[in-house]
Amino acid sequence: MTTTCYRKRPVEVDTVQWTGDNEAELVEFTGHRFEAIPAAARAENPDVTAQVYDELHDTWVGVKTGQHIVRGVKGEFYPIAEDVLAETYERVEPGPAATEATDARTTTRVFAALHRAAEQDVTRVIDLYERWVKAGPPPIGTPMSRWWDKRLVELHDAILPPKTQLRTPDELRERAETDDITIHPAACTCTYGARCPNCRA
């Protein structure tokens, strides 16, 4: 017979001890998977004063007063006696170094997300600027206030894009009809579509 030796990986788990009168705390800790058993319902096993639902095994597990409720590595909950807990685990006190490292990681993630969002905004504005340069000045006879208003709307949409982007030519035509804009495809070869000052009357 050949045996293989394994060592259990070091894991950290969270626990809350069932004292008999902290049901609300354990209900919150387990996400409503814990309930105390009334004294009248404990006739068969009077030592079991509560129960916790173990999703991993899809069953309710009896809990005795003084036992700890452990949240396992897969999010499951199970009871463990205090002496077994002391033999199996050692208490971890969060030190300042661990807290600082966690804060640093969180800050890094936040700044990375902000950087990505800002980079996307800048890319959209640069693309808009290049389209403006390609389109050239407003057509003769176009009121400047109307032309600038359209540019400001385009700039606003580039910085804060609308939730639904117009993509198909039919959608562009519908937008032009609702905005009373006439599209002249042969007048300009830009990519503005309905929003181009050279493609409308």
pLDDT digit string, tens, across residues 46-89? 899 999 999 888 899 999 999 999 998 888 999 999 999 988 88
Q: Which residue has the higher pLDDT, 142 or 26?
A: 26
Instruction: Please determine, for residue 167, whether its predicted confidence score (pLDDT) is greater than 70.
Output: no
* In contact, 123 and 104? CB cutoff 8 Å: no
Q: Please give the average per-residue pLDDT across 176-198, as a whole number.
A: 50
The more confident residue out of 181 and 1 is 1
Average pLDDT, the chain: 79
Angle at 58 between CA 53 and CA 60, to 5 degrees: 35
Residue 178 has pLDDT above 60, yes or no: no
Angle at 82 between CA 77 and CA 84, to 5 degrees: 85
Higher pLDDT, 94 or 175: 94
What are the structural domain ranges in the chain?
A: 14-88, 114-199
For range 168-176, the mean pLDDT: 54
Contact 193, 154 (CB under 8 A): no
pLDDT at 69: 95
Higher pLDDT, 170 or 10: 10
What confidence tier does 185 reach under pLDDT thresholds 50, 70, 90? Answer: very low
1-5, 24-28, 90-94, 117-121 — which one is most confidently predicted on average? 24-28
- The CA-atom distances, in angstroms, between 149 and each of 73, 74, 152, 156 are 57, 56, 5, 10
